Chain A
């Protein structure tokens, strides 16, 4: 167990809806990164938060947004869901953004119908 938790574990939404996924990082970790993993692919970087500020972003549209809270927990919000958003969403925490060893939570599996 990495100490990183995510909720919910599974979610079903319809196209056009909005979703919020949550992550609690490992104790003492102030950096959270979010990844999207489609079936049969490696995780793709969405964005990273360090001390409540966005610290980097991958090639995802603005309808993917996030927050990090003072206790370093984090949210991923996706607006206007599309069928291709169906994937496993992974949150990873690390001790600072310079320390790149990232520990993953169990993930949230999102299905968009």
Chain B
């Protein structure tokens, strides 16, 4: 079992819709979670991080963390074609040296 699991997609949503990206993790010691966006041929770009249970909002993005269910999600409101990319979920317990990444979910926003 992979430590961080994501559905590979593609997840296709129409422009203006809400895109919901999900991630589960197996290491209960994980304390912090990160969402990165990666365009084809480019490096990962940090979107948000979340440490506490609940929701965290930043512009059109909302990250949700449920440690009891070992579940992290990212909602993108008013999706735009420019949001089309692969979204990587990563986790890491405090003090751990590395981030553990999922394989990413490919999002396609249809104009």
On A, residues with C-beta under 8 Å from B are: 2, 33, 35, 40-45, 48, 55-58, 88, 90, 97-98, 100-107
Contacts and interface: CB of A to CB of B under 8 A. Distances in A.
Interface string B32-62: 1010100000111110010000000000000
Interface size class of B (residues with CB under 8 A): 20 to 34
The 4 closest A-B pairs by CB, nearest first: A56-B97, A42-B101, A45-B98, A104-B43
Nearest to A108: B43
B74 to A, nearest CB: 15
Nearest to B98: A45
B106 to A, nearest CB: 10
A100 B32 contact: yes
Given A42-B88, A101-B34, A101-B49, A90 B43 contact: yes
A82 B75 CA distance: 40
Interface in B1-50: 4, 32, 34, 36, 42-46, 49
Contact of A105 (B36, B43, B46, B94): B43
A35 B102 CA distance: 13
B93 to A, nearest CB: 9
B43 A42 contact: no
A62 to B, nearest CB: 18
A55 B97 contact: yes
Contact of A33 (B44, B49, B94, B97): B97
Contacts of A2: 45
Contacts of A41: 103-104
B97 A104 contact: no
B94 A45 contact: no
A43 B46 contact: no
Nearest to B104: A42
Given A90-B43, A104-B43, A104-B45, A58 B101 contact: no
B92 A100 contact: yes
